[in-house]
Structure 1
Amino acid sequence: MMRRRAKQTPERGRPTRHGRHGREGRSPVVRPPLPPIDTRIERFDLAVGAAAEFLRSSWPELRDVRFEIADMPLKTDENGIPRWQAFPDDKRIVMFRLPIERLSHLHRNDDLHRRMMIESCVFRAAADFLGRDPWDLGPDRFRFF
């Protein structure tokens, strides 16, 4: 009896780009680098840091002052929930993020106005620390508004 010979199929090599289970046409598992996640906390920290550096460079009395950020104050005062607290003896100013972000009334709810509100709170806190008017701290900064 004559045996049939099996057809020999040319062996296919593995494709250079393949996905799971050897299938072609899949995208790679690792995507291209994405921009970093920008959170409200990071934007708040950046705004406070920029305003604090401006004030430190303008006022020698504030060069040794630490600007700290806390979520909420531990207790309220007679005026309600404080936005900041100045400690002249310890040379530090504590900014409270949640009251500033959530209890502030913005003219327009966008990134620019939020940042301006945060910076104005930093200026008012520094003025409270120094015992001055907030407009005295940066008169050139607000000249064009």
Structure 2
Amino acid sequence: MVSRRGRAPRHATPGARRPNRHDRHGRVGRSAVVRPPIGPLETRFDRFDIAVGAAAEFLRSAWTDLRDVSFEIASMPPESDADGIPRWHIDRDARRIVLYRIPVERLGHLHRDDDLHRRMAVEGTVFRAAAEYLDRDPWDLGPERFRYF
């Protein structure tokens, strides 16, 4: 059998087999057009960080006492205390509030497990930690923010 180009195709030789790396047209396999799939662009840590940052910016804009306070995120507290596993730690001397991501995410009780309620739980934790820092009630920190709910 002769092809249109005037030579016999490679696979037409009796006993010869194509290597497995060739496709059905006898061509060598090509690389993929796109890269391998990348991981999620937004992880749980990213969502937690965004929620903490948004709540902290709101509180800093509303309360001048919080403008120089740094809100930091740590995975776990170094140790538990008599009340159980803490959700945050306040260091007034260093003007710092440290929020512990894993206890906030895993030990919180949500009545509906979706993105909105998880974010509200994180923001509520930020408000409670800031209220403890200021020695106020959490509802006093942002009454306008919750006026419509």
TM-score normalized with structure 2 length: 0.78
* Percent of aligned pairs with the same amino acid: 65
1:8–1:66 Cα change, 3 Å: closer
Partners of 1:138 and 1:131 in 2: how far apart?
A: 14
**C-alpha separation between the residues in 1 aligned to 2:46 and 2:64?**
27
Q: Identify the range of structure 1 (103-112 vs 34-43) with the bigger mean alpha-carbon deviation.
A: 34-43
Q: Distance in 2 between matches of 1:128 and 1:34?
A: 41
Equivalent residue for 1:75, pick from 57, 73, 79: 79
**Number of the residue aligned with 2:63:** 59
Q: Count residues with an aligned counterpart.
A: 132
- DSSP 3-state at the match of 2:90: strand
How far off is 1:140 after superposition?
A: 0.2
Instruction: Please say if 1:94 is aligned against 2:90.
Output: no
List runs of 5+ in structure 1 lacking aligned partners. 1-5, 12-19
TM-superposed CA distance for 1:38, in Å, is 1.4
Name the structure 1 match of 2:125.
121
Using the TM superposition, give the Cα deviation of residue 75 of structure 1 relative to its aligned residue in structure 2, in angstroms. 1.1
Match of 1:29 in 2: 33
1:77-126 CA-partner distances (Å, limit 9, x unpaired):
11100000111111000000000000000010000000000000000000
- Tell me the residue number matched to 1:41: 45
Give distance in 2, aligned partners of 1:74 and 1:108: 30
1:26 offset after TM fit, Å? 6.9
| Gap regions ≥5 residues in structure 2 | 8-20
**Residue 37 of structure 1: how far off its partner (Å):** 1.9
Which residue type is aligned with residue 109 of structure 2?
Answer: H
Equivalent position amino acid for 1:75 in 2 = E
1:12-63 per-residue CA deviation (whole Å, 9 max, x = no partner) reads xxxxxxxx85749978432599795211011000000010011011111000
Alignment of 1:9-24 (within 5 A): 9=5, 21=22, 23=27
Provide TM-score, normalisation by structure 1.
0.80
Q: Which amino acid aligns with 1:9?
A: R
